[in-house]
Amino acid sequence: MDKLMDNHWFLRGIALLLAIMLYMSTNIDKNVSDNFNPSPFPVGDTTETISGVPVSAYYDEDKYIVSGIPEKVSVTLEGQNNVVAAAKVKRQFEVFVNLRGYTPGTYEIPLKYSGVPSNLHLKVQPAKIQVTIKKKEVKSFPVEVKYLNENQVQAGTAIDKPIVKPSTVEVAGTTEQLSQIALVRAYVDLKGVNKTVTKEAKIVLYDKDGNQLDLKTGSSTVNVTVPVSSPEKTVSLGVTKTGSLQEGITVTSIKVEPSEVEIYGSKDVLDNITSLEGIEVDLSKITESTTFDASVSLPKGVTKAAPSQVKVTVEVQKQQRKTITDIPLQVNGLSDLLTMKFSDPQNGKISVDVFGDASVIEKMSAEQIKASINIGNMSAGTHDVPIQISGPNNVTLELKQKNAKVELAKKQETGHEVQGQPEQPTNKGNEQEKRSE
């Protein structure tokens, strides 16, 4: 062996052999790296599958719409442990489909990859995909605004017609896709809005059945200006009485403070309102003079009243009842040719029940009440005549009996009066006639 090592021809042969082996190794690696999808795999140290690898597509996006390209695929890596681990972490490789130069139609296209180290082998699943290429069209659609939480707009505000910029949006797709579009809508949330605002709103496409469509639009949002106004009007307040007063109580006045309020709403609604009658007073709950707070009821379409509460003052009088007797009946219209006597009441005096404030009733007397009957144009005979009474304005009078019964008779030709008649007040100075025995 020592002799061989000393032989320079032997050493030259060894060097030549090593050079040939190195050359072959280099060319084998180069050939492998030039083939993107070798099959079957050469034997490696480890194999690992990665899912969720995105797929890139290369084609003229201004002219065509392509369907059938998966968003993500799975790839299998094979190689030395450290190389596979590094590729898995860095993911510097790309899976793609190249459709440049293709015209509209349906094709089966292989998925390719790039960015793979020469000492790493990669396989894509699926290896091929079927794609459909269609001509791209662009169409403009008007944008409709839909309000969200419109019922939560601050009270007292009115929402006018929105202003959309741009008012139309371009949508790209195939002829079939564009024909499905029934509505282009932008949503604006009005919660808490109390003044004119401009908001950026996302565009959403719908078909005729209300299903959302996933198509590309020239702009994904529009600017929507929401005009907010607060029309107002001053109106008077009215009181609505409910229930019945307890016996012995009279309401003398009901006062509302303030007597007018500002109401807010749309102009069309306010133009038809002249007053509010929503202040309710339940008389069945009133037992004495009182003051309480009441809410202002809002008619349909009115969003706010200012103030929303008012003070209501109810003044009452507790009534007292008193019977006043011996009120003489005054006779009006008695003919000079007739005489009259009372049958009921026989004494020509009546009783009256008086209702009113206790302080007034206590001082009432018969002299303050006037009672009368009118027998004008009546002929001889017995008659029921309605009794008329009057008294102070701040009391209520109630007759014990409604009618008086009187008997009328012709005077005797001798000029003597009919016997048995009591003295009667008349309309001739209330002179009393005396009957002769």
Could you report the per-residue pLDDT of 231-274, keeping only the tens digit for each? 788 999 988 888 888 877 778 889 999 999 988 877 778 888 88
Burial of 39 per CB tally in 10 Å (0-12, 13-18, 19+): exposed
Give the separation between CA 210 and CA 219, rounded to whole angstroms.
Answer: 21
Could you report the per-residue pLDDT of 331-362, keeping only the tens digit for each? 999 999 999 999 999 999 999 999 887 778 88
pLDDT band at 3 (very low <50, low <70, confident <90, very high): low
| Other Cβ atoms within 10 Å of 131 Cβ, number | 20
Residue 144 dihedral angles phi and psi, to the nearest 5°: -100, 140
- Structure pTM? 0.40
Q: What is the pLDDT of residue 408?
A: 94
| All structural domains of the chain | 34-135 (2.170.120.30), 137-229 (2.170.120.40), 232-318 (2.170.120.40), 320-410 (2.170.120.30)
Mean pLDDT of the chain: 84
- Between strands 144-148 and 183-189, the pairing is parallel
Burial of 208 per CB tally in 10 Å (0-12, 13-18, 19+): exposed
Largest pairwise CA distance in the chain = 202
Q: What is the pLDDT of residue 356?
A: 80
Q: What is the pLDDT of residue 297?
A: 86
Helix (H, G, I), strand (E, B) or coil at 168: strand
Could you report the per-residue pLDDT of 288-335, keeping only the tens digit for each? 889 999 888 888 888 788 888 999 999 887 778 889 999 999 999 999
Angle at 204 between CA 202 and CA 206, to 5 degrees: 170
Could you report the per-residue pLDDT of 57-113, keeping only the tens digit for each? 999 988 999 999 999 999 999 999 999 988 888 888 999 999 998 999 999 999 999
